[in-house]
Amino acid sequence: MQAKVCPGLAPRIAAAAVLSDVIARRLPLDECLAAGAGGARIGALSQRDAALTRSIATAALRRLGTIQTVLAELLEREPPRQASQLEWILIAGAAQILFLDVPDYAAVDLAVHASRLEPKTAPYAPLVNGVLRNLIRARERILAESDPLDHDTPKWLAARWRQNYGEAEARAIASAHRDEPVLDITPLSGASIWAERLGATLLPIGSLRLRSHAKVTELPGFAEGQWLVQDAAAALPARLLRATPGMRVADFCAAPGGKTAQLAAAGATVMAIDRSAERLKKLAANLSRLNLRADIVVGDAVDLKAQLFDGILVDAPCLGTGTMRRHPDIAWTKKPNDLVALTALQARLLDKAAELVKPGGTIVYCTCSLEPEENELQISALLRRSPGLVRVPVTLPEVGGLPELLNCNGELRTLPVHLPAPEPRLAGLDGFFAARLLRAC
Ligand SMILES: C[S@@+](CC[C@H](N)C(=O)[O-])C[C@H]1O[C@@H](n2cnc3c(N)ncnc32)[C@H](O)[C@@H]1O
């Protein structure tokens, strides 16, 4: 039966193709969902089917370790290499059976259909049927035994977090990755008015937390450019620059522009630099919706020519391990070796910021990574290289009076376990680090 005439088949095929692109080719999930993957064009799906594709893919990526462990148990031997698509069909099927509110018969039948469509996987349709039915029978045990840190976190990340945060915190971070959080919003002004209009919670750190996964573009204030979508922790670093009207600020890694918008809204004259022309188009569109402006520069911030700024924000490219609640693909697309090139680039960006900040001027460095090499260790190394820079500790009022968001050097260190709430999707923060430095001389 063809995907076109079998309801529900197209999103299952698309989800398997997306999983193959994310896990085997290490492509970012958002890119795969936007562009379509493996010939199964997401754009050609109805809105409902595209949403189901996304749900299957994200559930599978959040719990990939659990799924792979149990499939290895149930399959007597590895699927043959020429039928590699079988693996993704099975993972997509298992994600539905274990983690989504989908009838078991639909998950199994459609996985069997999907495997019959390709000559290479068709001979294994009975195997797909058998494995997924056995999985249904073992469901209670699998869910009881599944461990967020030992199964659903890659071993190298689990080892790092245990070492850097201790067993209990590492475990809590991994548990927080099980749930997709609701949206946070940064109002450009009038936070309590927008909290009321949107039925949102006003968090102690100034952002609004919506209570549901709403369609952003349809919410009041979106079209009028009154607020931007931004995790509550991501809204903190730009504020630490204490931008004021007339201040000349460089935003070194600016796109897609959340922090540029905050700086421009504070009245600063902002130069927004990014080496991705494509991502800068999004920045331009975001600023235009928010009725804000900045000088947009496509290029490598490390190559900026001599000029001085009152403030510089370096929102450096990083592993992104602080954002795994919203981007579960990061667990499987990033590898330990990626740290080598990233930390080298971060150090170059910091050196350039140290060169271009005026005496008396401020640098804020931030990442959305949980890894000390990209954060605390970058700053201590910079302070050794640049004796004219000193740390200006972040103050308690700047983090809503929450001491757990600061480390002992007065740097911002938010974690997915912060801001607990009874409902997991209403809890947590992205894992952001930020340090504030002053050029004393
Ligand atoms: C973490 S994102 C920035 C997010 C952005 N600040 C925001 O708030 O929306 C990192 C950005 O750094 C850019 N980038 C990476 N290396 C760069 C470089 N050497 N110079 C300028 N931009 C760079 C990437 O293209 C990416 O857009």
Instruction: Provide DSSP, 288-314.
Output: HHTT---EEEES-GGGPPS--EEEEEE
Give the pLDDT mean for 313-338: 97
Cis geometry, peptide bond prior to residue 256 (ω within 30 degrees of 0): yes
Angle value at C-alpha 48, between 45 and 51, nearest 5 degrees: 90
Residue 6: predicted pLDDT: 87
Give the pLDDT mean for 41-51: 83
- 32 vs 88: CA distance, rounded Å: 15
Residue 40: predicted pLDDT: 53
Residue 41: predicted pLDDT: 61
Residue 1: predicted pLDDT: 45
- For 409-437, the pLDDT digits (tens) are 999 999 999 999 999 999 999 999 999 99
Give the pLDDT mean for 12-28: 94
Taking the centre of ligand 1 as the mean of its atom positions, its distance from the CA of residue 298, in whole angstroms, is 11
Residue to mutate (ligand 1; options 186, 241, 253; most atoms within 8 A of CB): 253
User: What is this structure's pTM?
Assistant: 0.95
Residue to mutate (ligand 1; options 274, 282, 352; most atoms within 8 A of CB): 274
Instruction: pLDDT band for 80, please (50, 70, 90 cuts).
Output: confident
- Asked whether the beta carbons of 240 and 364 are under 8 A apart, the reply is yes
Residue 35: predicted pLDDT: 64
Burial class (CB in 10 A: 0-12, 13-18, 19+), 8: middle
Instruction: Provide DSSP, 252-275.
Output: TT-TT-HHHHHHHHTT-EEEEEES
- Among this protein's residues, is 368 annotated catalytic? yes
Tell me the sheet residues that pair with 248. 269
- Asked whether the beta carbons of 278 and 257 are under 8 A apart, the reply is no
| 315 Cβ below 6 A of ligand 1 | yes
Percent share of the chain, pLDDT over 70? 97
Taking the centre of ligand 1 as the mean of its atom positions, its distance from the CA of residue 123, in whole angstroms, is 47
Instruction: pLDDT band for 54, please (50, 70, 90 cuts).
Output: very high
Average predicted confidence (pLDDT) for the chain? 95
Residue 79: predicted pLDDT: 72
Give the pLDDT mean for 225-230: 96
- 431 vs 142: CA distance, rounded Å: 29
- Asked whether the beta carbons of 87 and 124 are under 8 A apart, the reply is no
Instruction: pLDDT band for 78, please (50, 70, 90 cuts).
Output: confident
Handedness of CA 260, 242, 369, 341 (dihedral sign): positive
Give the pLDDT mean for 96-117: 97
Closest listed residue to residue 93, CA positions, set 120, 119, 74, 78: 74
Tell me the sheet residues that pair with 249. 270, 311
How many C-beta atoms lie closer than 10 Å to residue 326's C-beta?
A: 19
- 203 vs 176: CA distance, rounded Å: 18
Give the pLDDT mean for 306-319: 97
Residue 36: predicted pLDDT: 55
| 253 Cβ below 6 A of ligand 1 | yes
Atom of ligand 1 nearest to the CA of 318: 1
Give the pLDDT mean for 316-328: 98
